[in-house]
Amino acid sequence: MRASWIEAALIAAGAIVGWYATRRWRLSAEPPPRPPSRDYLAGLNYLVNEQPDRAVEAFLRAVAVDQDTVETQFALGALFRRRGEVDRAIRVHQNLIARDTLDPAFREQATYALAQDYQRAGLYDRAEKLLLELSAGGTYRINALKDLLGLYEVEHEWERAIAIHRDLGRIGKPDQPSAIAHYHCELAEVARASGDTLKARELLRTARGELRRFPRAALLRADVALDLGDPAHAIKLLKKVPVESPQLASEVLPRLVRALKAAGRQAELAELVAELAGDGREVADALAYAAILTGQLDSPALLALARAFLGREPAVAEIVGALLPDGALLEDAALARLCAAIRRQAQRSARFRCGECGFASSGFFWQCPGCKSWDSLKPLSPSDLAGQVGGKRGR
């Protein structure tokens, strides 16, 4: 509440500055301007005294009386949108745009503000129309392109998102360079779901052209290879992923087990796991944790990895150590039960967290639902999960 008040006070301060700016701008051409109305000053007073509703009423009265206060109207519109009163924000900005005499720079500002109102209200068609106008050129071009990108992502309009991402690439670096490779993967998933594996493969080739060493494309290519009855190729693709992207081990392991089974090469799992784990502790731990979370512990090689991994997890090691005599090892059956308990606990909690915004989720997403960053969700460790027990449940 206090933070939103600081924000509102800043908007009010901006409105005062704007009022003086408008005043100076008009000084040479027109008669001396009037001072701020009593309602406007009353509105400020309410803001300072943390009475938001009365402040908004006073500001509305001020604007109704003095239609020249363009900056005040912008401040009001922004305040309404932030408070979630989007209908009011839309009315304020529409009124501004409807003025015949409005300065072109203010008209552009009002159009962008209205597009933001429409986005906030979920009126995406209207927002898109205005953003397309603004993206043709002018002060708000880059903002409009970025907003369009976000809008097409929400609507899963991947081809349009690709075009906008390319436009952004031509006039400056897009905020998320890897996004375009994800858009191609999204399209490839659609093609694969409709049975068009040829198109899916072509799209995945383009995705790799956009971004080399792109693990999502490798996973999808492995899926397509499995669809086409080529598990050997799938195994070859999957082997590389945990080494380059250990955080995706839980996406890789079930696919790898499936591909080995399809190829009749289950016996190779132990060798493959040893080879991957030999790449370093990070990969070994990621694979072990993925095996625990996905319940792939039939293989003695994976169970051994899980034992070593849990021995290094402080929260788990301390509890297990307290239950066993000094130097004793947990038996395999007990270890499997412990892993199953951790899996059940993980299923009840958030398993992934966004490194950008902290959004916690029980499922994996390539794009964070909270902040819309790509590739920002990372798995939580068993110690993180232990910290969640009794705390907030994940989504």
Shortest distance (Å) from residue 389 CB to Zn ion = 23
Shortest distance (Å) from residue 260 CB to Zn ion = 34
Shortest distance (Å) from residue 128 CB to Zn ion = 24
If the CB atoms of residues 316 and 368 are measured against Zn ion, the closer one turns out to be: 368
If the CB atoms of residues 10 and 371 are measured against Zn ion, the closer one turns out to be: 371
If the CB atoms of residues 371 and 389 are measured against Zn ion, the closer one turns out to be: 371
Shortest distance (Å) from residue 116 CB to Zn ion = 20
Measured in degrees and rounded to the nearest 5, phi and psi for residue 113 equal -60, -40
Shortest distance (Å) from residue 371 CB to Zn ion = 3
Shortest distance (Å) from residue 376 CB to Zn ion = 5
If the CB atoms of residues 77 and 370 are measured against Zn ion, the closer one turns out to be: 370
If the CB atoms of residues 135 and 245 are measured against Zn ion, the closer one turns out to be: 245
If the CB atoms of residues 296 and 373 are measured against Zn ion, the closer one turns out to be: 373
If the CB atoms of residues 43 and 174 are measured against Zn ion, the closer one turns out to be: 174
Shortest distance (Å) from residue 179 CB to Zn ion = 14
Binding site for Zn ion (CB under 5 A): 354, 356-357, 359, 368, 370-371
